[in-house]
Amino acid sequence: MGGLVASPAHGQESPGAVVPDPVPVTERSHTPAGAGIKVVHARFTNHHRLVRATVVWNKALLAKPGTNDRFNLRVAAVAKGKKAKTTTLAVTTSTVAKRRTQVRFWLSASAARTVRSAKAVVLSLSQQYDSPRDRDKLYEQNYVNAVYLKGVAAAPAGTRDCRYFKIGPGADLSNCALPPIADLRNADLTKVNMSWSTGASVLLSGSQMYRANLTWAFLERTHLERTQLVAADLTGARLMVSYMEDTNQLAADMVGVTLSDSWADRVNFSGANMHRAALDGRFHDGAMINTDLTEAWFHGGLWLMDMRGADLRGARMHGALLYYSTLRAANLTGADLSGTNLKNANLTIADLVETNLEGANLAEADLEDADLTKANLIEANLTKANLTQANMIKANLTDATLHQANLSFAIWPDGRKCAQHSVGRCD
Q: Where residue 81 falls among pLDDT bands split at 50, 70, 90?
A: confident
For the chain, what percent of residues have pLDDT higher than 90? 71
Q: Which amino acid is at 133?
A: R
Nearest to 198 by CA among 182, 221, 175, 181: 175
Q: How far, rounded to the nearest angstrom, does the alpha carbon of residue 366 sit from its chain's CA centroid?
A: 31
- Asked if the model's pLDDT at residue 220 lies above 70, the reply is yes
Condensed to tens digits (0 to 9), the pLDDT of residues 250-301 reads 999 999 999 998 888 999 999 999 999 999 888 888 899 999 999 999 888 8
Instruction: Answer yes or no: are the C-beta atoms of 190 and 168 closer than 8 Å.
Output: no
Model-wide pTM > 0.75: yes
Using DSSP's 3-state secondary structure scheme, residue 114 falls into: helix
Radius of gyration over every alpha carbon of the chain, rounded to an integer in angstroms: 27
CA–CA gap between residue 307 and residue 290 (Å, rounded): 7
Using DSSP's 3-state secondary structure scheme, residue 372 falls into: coil
Using DSSP's 3-state secondary structure scheme, residue 273 falls into: strand
What is the residue-averaged pLDDT of the chain?
Answer: 89
Condensed to tens digits (0 to 9), the pLDDT of residues 383-421 reads 999 999 999 999 999 999 999 999 999 999 999 999 999
- Asked if the model's pLDDT at residue 369 lies above 90, the reply is yes
pLDDT of residue 284: 87
pLDDT of residue 155: 78
Q: Where residue 86 falls among pLDDT bands split at 50, 70, 90?
A: confident
Q: Where residue 304 falls among pLDDT bands split at 50, 70, 90?
A: confident
- Find the mean pLDDT for residues 300-313: 88
CA–CA gap between residue 168 and residue 192 (Å, rounded): 7
Instruction: Answer yes or no: are the C-beta atoms of 189 and 204 closer than 8 Å.
Output: yes
Condensed to tens digits (0 to 9), the pLDDT of residues 39-77 reads 998 999 998 899 999 999 999 999 998 888 999 999 999
Q: How far, rounded to the nearest angstrom, does the alpha carbon of residue 119 sit from its chain's CA centroid?
A: 25
Nearest to 227 by CA among 197, 259, 267: 267
CA–CA gap between residue 314 and residue 333 (Å, rounded): 6
Query: Backbone dihedral region of 381: left (phi > 0), alpha (psi from -120 to 50 degrees) or beta?
Result: beta
pLDDT of residue 394: 98
CA–CA gap between residue 271 and residue 352 (Å, rounded): 21
- Asked if the model's pLDDT at residue 14 lies above 60, the reply is no
Maximum mean pLDDT: which of 13-17, 43-47, 337-341: 337-341
Instruction: Answer yes or no: are the C-beta atoms of 38 and 55 closer than 8 Å.
Output: yes
CA–CA gap between residue 114 and residue 120 (Å, rounded): 10
